[in-house]
Amino acid sequence: MEPVEPSIGWGVLHLLFRVDRARAEQEPGGAKRVLDAIASLEADGHQALTFAVLGHKAELGMMALGPDLARLQGFQHELSAAPLVLADSFLSITELSEYTSTEDDERARLVVDEGLVGDAAEARLTEWRERMEHYREQRLHPKLPRKRILCFYPMSKRRDPNANWYALPFEERKRLMGGHARVGRSYAGRVLQLITGSVGLDDWEWGVTLLADDPVALKNIVYEMRFDEVSARYAEFGPFVTGLLLEPAETLRRVGLPG
């Protein structure tokens, strides 16, 4: 099939499965089918993370991402050859926030907050441009590290009559999101956050993937953000799924899918 590539960003597909144990006993080699599908996907320039889900919502989780939605669909189809039952899924695309600071914003901040103009301001702006280029690349084309815990949840912004996010002026939304982002940045090094857009693609408007080594850091960042006005007044959250992020073969062993 011809590639289906977003003009900006990569496709992201979260898949949650249960193991069909009766079928697994009748059809040996299920784990190999999954491992072969992952190897093939990654050979085509995509990435797949596997996690053993904690709780009743699923047993096996996969997060696949890369430039071609057709290839992601092919990966999903290849997994159907294994003894797995798809329990849930979520499709989104990596994106840049429309509320990200612009160069004019940063120039004004340097003047107001630090009193910098002329060459001194330009030197700082050069550093800022380099940081922003790295930030944009990580948001649009992420190379996700293999942390120990993955948490995923979908969310949308409220459209209630007394709390309608989409009725707010852009500058007010940008101000609110700036405060929200400061909370997130305080967890740098402890929690990696990937927010992907699903407006028009799935039932919720965004998907949030959090990666960490310490599950307490996941609990704390979500708890702290609940007190921020963006979440407290304007956010609706879907179900949370958390799992142990492992190498694919170890993930399959832990969920009981035999080779």
- Looking up residue 31, the CATH number of its domain turns out to be 3.30.70.1030
**250 falls within a domain:** no
Task: Choose, from 99, 135, 153, 187, the residue flagged as catalytic.
Answer: 153
**245 falls within a domain:** no
- According to DSSP H, which parts of 59-149 are helical? 69-79, 103-114, 118-140
**217 falls within a domain:** no
* Gap between the Cα atoms of 111 and 106, Å rounded: 9
Q: What is the pLDDT of residue 236?
A: 97
Q: What is the pLDDT of residue 131?
A: 93
Closest to 178 in 3D by CA, of 216, 230, 243:
230
Give the Å distances, CA to CA, from 172 to 4, 166, 179.
36, 11, 11
Q: How many domains does the chain have?
A: 1
**179 falls within a domain:** no
**108 falls within a domain:** no
Residue 153 known to be catalytic: yes
* Contact call for residues 225 and 180 (beta carbons, < 8 A): yes
Question: Helix, strand, or coil here: 128?
Answer: helix
Phi first, then psi, for residue 115 (nearest 5°) are 65, 30
Question: Helix, strand, or coil here: 63?
Answer: strand
Expressed as residue numbers, the domain containing 40 is 11-95
Pairing of strands 11-19, 60-66: antiparallel
Spell out the per-residue pLDDT of the chain, length 259, in tens.
899 999 999 999 999 999 999 999 998 999 999 999 999 999 999 999 999 999 999 999 999 999 999 999 999 999 999 999 999 999 999 999 999 989 999 999 999 999 998 988 999 999 999 999 999 999 999 999 989 999 999 999 999 999 999 999 999 999 999 888 889 899 999 999 999 999 999 999 999 999 999 999 999 999 999 999 999 999 999 999 999 999 999 999 999 997 7
Q: What is the pLDDT of residue 179?
A: 87
**230 falls within a domain:** no
Question: Helix, strand, or coil here: 140?
Answer: helix
* Gap between the Cα atoms of 221 and 188, Å rounded: 11
Report the predicted TM-score, pTM, of the whole model to 2 decimal places. 0.94
Q: 196: left (phi > 0), else alpha (psi -120 to 50), else beta?
A: beta
**166 falls within a domain:** no
**28 falls within a domain:** yes
